[in-house]
């Protein structure tokens, strides 16, 4: 057994923390005091979460559609934080602080989180908080939206239709405009969301006025080249009644010949009875007009998204100030307000909320949670034993906490090294790596509260610059 020591950057005497918990009751989350997570292996890193986000995928659990028998568990998968404790292999005895082991499989909607294989899951972000909310979107929603548009087969000059103007749908429209779309239609039934979509340059289509395909085909008689479904299995029809497969069939009627459709909204298994979220899963099935699709020869793509594939491009665009995806946030709350924020988000009364757990100090190493596994893991569909991690293999080098040398994969998927660290090019057996990409410098979380930062505002018109 390897022995390791613990490096504590921000020690605290408090042995508990607050976490947003789902206890298996549909439409209900609670904030509980739970034991803080502790180091359990030499590759663990404890992160003090400074800012987390509530994601639309969390609502599938919140609604009781998905769950599994491992409740209660904490929510969330989008976060920015500060390295609080880290383990490094050493030849000395094991030294643990006297903290009890966690009783819950903690995730970032808490004050602290234990990150397994931290060096491959955490990434550094640049200094300052000017783009903090922008970087936070890269953990899921911006990367998911960007991937969705790519999966449609998008080319500059295409006309795009996006079903859904929630956070992912809004950023899919934003991404399309940035990448040179001729026109973008944004479909939703919530007036505030449609107004936000129009503010960035998209053409709003109100679902309540009838089938989107009929509305848009009056304007685009030959159909549209690209369609992105950013809603998924919880879609509704123009009467606002749940109807599985409605979007997929409407998209097939709308798509032009040889066009491309991306299914980005989740279609997953889960109990159909919302009163029994722990029952066995059932595979979702949807009706599909295959004859219309076959006649048009359209391409259908989609599935789970790996944010790490888009990370270098999106991070560079944000750092350069060319995109500001953080405009989707319209509420910043503290963790005690999370249950109410979940309710408002579920009722479409807010666009997206960020949970602010407090500011860091000058000199802290700021990192962002990077999901290396597909969304299926975060949904917790089955037993814990059924969760499979996507492993990435890195050079066997000392952790940056006790070494001036750091083996680096070309994508920035390591915890931020100290400013004096150097890097080398010795990756091996790493998935999704691009040898031409260099690791960005580790940043510092400045002494500035998220609540003091200016609220991000959407651009007055759709962005038009092309990515590099």
Q: Is residue 252 part of a domain?
A: yes
When mean pLDDT is compared across 72-86, 138-152, 191-205, the lowest value belongs to 72-86
Same domain, 322 and 262: no
In a domain, 381, yes or no: yes
CA distance 318 to 143: 12
Pick the range with the lowest mean pLDDT from 115-124, 144-153, 232-241, 425-434.
425-434
Q: What are the distances in angstroms from CA 72 to CA 77, 78, 121, 281?
A: 16, 19, 24, 17
pLDDT for residue 180 is more than 90: yes
User: What's the confidence (pLDDT) of residue 238?
Assistant: 98
Position with higher pLDDT, 132 vs 413:
132
- Single residue among 248, 273, 307 that ends a domain in this structure: 307
Task: Please list, residue by residue across 180-201, b when 16 or more beta carbons sit within 10 angstroms of its beta carbon and e when fewer do.
Answer: bbebbbbbbbbeebbebbebbb
Give a yes or no: residue 458 inside a domain.
no
Confidence grade of residue 244 (pLDDT, cut at 50, 70, 90): confident
pLDDT at 270: 56
* 130 and 181 together in one domain: no
Q: What is the model's pLDDT at position 211?
A: 98
Q: Work out the pLDDT band at 358, boundaries 50, 70, 90.
A: low
**Do 265 and 347 fall within a single domain?**
no
pLDDT of residue 119: 72
**pLDDT exceeds cutoff 60 at 116:** yes
Same domain, 108 and 186: no
Residue of 140, 135, 204, 132 whose CA lies nearest to 167: 140
Q: Give pTM, 2 decimals.
A: 0.69
Q: Is residue 462 part of a domain?
A: no
> 3-state class of 345 per DSSP?
helix
Nearest to 84 by CA among 5, 6, 3, 4: 6
The pLDDT, as a whole number, for residue 67 is 61
For 199-215, write each residue's pLDDT tens digit.
999 999 999 999 999 99
Rounded CA-CA distance 223/160 in Å is 10
Instruction: Please report, for the domain that includes residue 296, its CATH number.
Output: 3.40.50.720
**Cβ-contact 8, 84 below 8 angstroms:** yes
Q: Please check whether residue 375 lies inside any domain of the structure.
A: yes
At 129 the pLDDT is 65
Q: Provide the domain limits for residue 8.
A: 4-138+309-452
Helix orientation angle between 191-199 and 167-178, rounded to the nearest 10 degrees = 20
Query: Has residue 11 been placed in a domain?
Result: yes
Domain contains 224: yes
Mean per-residue pLDDT, 361-389: 34
Quote the CA–CA distance of 39 and 217 in Å, as a whole number: 57
How far is it, in rounded angstroms, from Cα 209 to Cα 227?
A: 19
Render pLDDT for 219-237 as a digit per residue (tens, 0 to 9): 999 999 999 999 998 899 9
- CATH number, residue 381: 3.90.180.10
Q: In the predicted model, what is the mean pLDDT of residues 178-186?
A: 98
Q: Helix 141-151 vs helix 167-178: angle between axes, to the nearest 10 degrees?
A: 60
Q: What is the mean pLDDT of the segment spanning 387-410?
A: 27
Residue 249: phi and psi, rounded to 5, are: -70, -35
- The confidence band for 66, taking pLDDT boundaries of 50, 70 and 90, is low
Q: How high does pLDDT run on average in the chain?
A: 71
Residue 261 has pLDDT above 90, yes or no: yes
Reference 430, options 443, 413, 448; nearest CA is: 413
Mean pLDDT of 89-96: 26
pLDDT surpasses 60 at 434:
no
Measured distance CA(37)–CA(15) in Å, rounded: 9
- Crossing angle for the helix pair 307-319 and 141-151, nearest 10 degrees? 110
């Amino acid at each position: 057994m390897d022995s390791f020591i613990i490096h504590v950057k921000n020690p605290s005497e408090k042995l508990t923390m607050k976490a947003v918990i789902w206890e298996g009751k549909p439409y209900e989350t609670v904030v509980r005091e739970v034991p803080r997570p502790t180091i359990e292996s030499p590759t663990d890193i404890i992160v003090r979460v400074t800012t987390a986000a509530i994601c639309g995928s969390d609502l599938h659990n919140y609604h009781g559609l998905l769950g599994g028998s491992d409740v209660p568990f904490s929510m969330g998968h989008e976060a920015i934080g500060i390295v609080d404790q880290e383990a490094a292999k050493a030849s000395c005895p094991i030294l643990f602080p006297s903290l009890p082991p966690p009783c819950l499989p903690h995730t970032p909607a808490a004050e602290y989180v234990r990150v397994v294989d931290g060096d491959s899951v955490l990434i550094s972000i640049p200094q300052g908080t000017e783009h903090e909310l922008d970087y936070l979107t890269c953990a899921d929603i911006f990367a998911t939206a960007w991937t969705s548009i790519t999966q449609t087969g998008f080319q500059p000059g295409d006309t795009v239709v996006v079903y859904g103007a929630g956070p992912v749908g809004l950023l899919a429209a934003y991404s399309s405009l940035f990448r040179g779309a001729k026109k973008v239609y944004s479909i939703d039934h919530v007036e505030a969301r449609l107004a936000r979509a129009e503010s960035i340059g998209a053409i709003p289509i109100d679902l309540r006025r009838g089938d989107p395909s009929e509305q848009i085909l009056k304007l685009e008689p030959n159909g549209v080249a690209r369609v992105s479904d950013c809603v998924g299995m919880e879609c509704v029809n123009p009467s606002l009644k749940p109807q599985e497969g409605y979007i997929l069939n409407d998209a097939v009627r709308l798509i032009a010949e040889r066009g491309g459709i991306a299914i980005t909204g989740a279609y997953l298994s889960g109990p159909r009875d919302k009163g029994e979220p722990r029952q066995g899963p059932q595979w979702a099935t949807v009706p599909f007009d295959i004859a219309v699709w076959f006649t048009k020869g359209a391409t259908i793509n989609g599935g789970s998204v790996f944010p790490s594939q888009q990370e270098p491009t999106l991070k560079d665009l944000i750092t350069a100030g060319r995109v500001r995806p953080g405009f989707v946030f319209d509420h910043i709350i503290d963790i005690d307000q999370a249950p109410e924020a979940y309710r408002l988000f579920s009722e479409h009364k807010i666009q997206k909320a960020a949970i602010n757990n407090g500011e860091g100090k000058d000199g802290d190493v700021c990192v962002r949670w990077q999901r290396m596994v597909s969304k299926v893991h975060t949904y917790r569909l089955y037993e814990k034993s059924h969760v499979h991690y996507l492993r990435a293999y890195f050079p066997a080098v000392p952790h940056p906490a006790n070494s001036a040398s750091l083996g680096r994969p070309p994508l920035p998927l390591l915890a931020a090294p100290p400013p004096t660290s150097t890097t080398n090019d010795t990756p091996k057996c790493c998935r999704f790596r691009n040898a031409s990409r260099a690791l960005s410098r580790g940043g510092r979380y400045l002494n500035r509260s998220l609540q003091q930062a200016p609220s991000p505002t959407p651009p007055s018109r759709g962005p038009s610059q092309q990515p590099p």
